[in-house]
């Protein structure tokens, strides 16, 4: 396998990103997809620390975005992104490295981001499963 200074962002659903997941690792390069919180859903409940966030205030103060996929949420550090504006309610995809803070909260430090409004999320999720199976089968065939 070729090596590259730029690491590939492993495709992961937000619902798969929890402390016991193989993807939940300091420095892991990931690609995540989710919807920027809506104004109606501006209060985010962090289950671990029981902290309420107002999405708009948080996003403005800390160059952070919060994306959601179902009940799963993830904070995105967007300070290194250029030429990308965020629309509440739109779907975005980010590639970056996961940082796990002292309070066990995970933040993705994004190096690439794009608006993916129009993405068929059902097709995306189903295709991701097929992709993973294909990759596993190829790896197994290579080993045997």
- Kindly list the residues in this chain that would bind other proteins in the complex (CB under 8 A): 1-11, 31, 81, 83-84, 93, 95, 111-114, 116-120, 123-124, 127, 130-131, 134-135, 138, 142
| Smallest distance from other proteins to CB 23, Å | 12
Query: What residue has token string 């107002």?
Result: 54
- 8 A C-beta contact, residue 107 and residue 82: no
Nearer to other proteins, 9 or 37 (CB): 9
| Smallest distance from other proteins to CB 99, Å | 18
- 8 A C-beta contact, residue 94 and residue 32: yes
Tokens of 29: 């390069």
Nearer to other proteins, 31 or 99 (CB): 31
Nearer to other proteins, 4 or 20 (CB): 4
Helix then strand then coil, % of the chain, to nearest 5: 25, 35, 40
């Amino acid at each position: 396998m070729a090596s590259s200074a730029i690491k590939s962002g492993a495709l992961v659903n937000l619902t798969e990103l929890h402390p016991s997941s193989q993807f939940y690792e300091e420095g892991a390069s990931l690609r995540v997809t989710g919807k920027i919180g809506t104004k109606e859903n501006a209060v985010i409940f962090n289950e671990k620390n029981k902290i309420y966030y107002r999405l708009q205030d948080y996003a403005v103060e800390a160059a952070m975005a919060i994306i959601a996929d179902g009940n799963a949420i993830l904070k995105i550090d967007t300070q290194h992104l250029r030429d990308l504006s965020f629309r509440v309610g739109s779907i975005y995809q980010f590639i970056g490295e996961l940082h796990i803070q002292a309070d066990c909260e995970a933040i993705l430090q994004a190096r690439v981001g794009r608006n993916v409004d129009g993405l068929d999320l059902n097709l995306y999720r189903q295709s991701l499963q097929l992709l993973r199976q294909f990759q596993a089968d190829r790896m197994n065939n290579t080993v045997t």
